[in-house]
Amino acid sequence: MALLESTMVPLGAACPDFTLPGVDGRLWSLHDFHCPALLVVVMCNHCPYVHAVDDRLNDLAKAYKGRCGVAAINANDAVTHPDDSFEAMRRRAAAKGYVFPYLWDEEQTVVQALGAVCTPDFFLFDSHRRLAYRGRLDDNWKDAAHVTRHDLKEALDRVLAHEAPLETQHPSMGCSIKWRSR
């Protein structure tokens, strides 16, 4: 497991357009999300950093339903990491009760366009689908009971209130994305 921090993509960057299959059997595109904010999370099935925060992510998606769309995207190479295959994604989404679409970026083009490098990697876009936040979920990926700062939630509240982005944004950290050999 290679630990990486997310790259700090410039704020204001446009959300890349996408059409990706979801574990729910439908194709999802950027235009399917009509909420005032959109959170795109690059994640996977096997990463312990994702395991540590995915319940918190699910809770956040429930709390902001109707105000913030959430799209989780897995792009890991399923050949080298079969635990991240599309079928494994279906099983994990069902077992965890994800309330957001879990999408498969088999060609890895969307995660590349986002500038994602790790799982989880969080990208929050405003109503114009411009990047307003990129960074960590909170200040304790390991233990929800010891979180003192809810960075992503604070950023989301600012986006919904049409306020300027947080001045200080801390990178997320997690496992490296498992890129396909070309």
Alpha-carbon distance of 50 to 70, in angstroms, equals 15
122 touches 132 (CB < 8 A): no
The pTM score is 0.94
Taking the chain (182 residues) in consecutive chunks of 10 residues, what is each chunk's mean pLDDT?
Answer: 69 96 97 96 94 94 97 95 96 97 97 94 96 92 89 96 90 88 71
Right CATH for 38-176 from 3.40.50.11540, 3.40.50.2300, 3.40.30.10, 3.40.50.880: 3.40.30.10
- Count the neighbouring beta carbons within 10 Å of the beta carbon of residue 168: 7
Cis peptide before 36 (omega within 30 of 0): no
Alpha-carbon distance of 171 to 134, in angstroms, equals 7
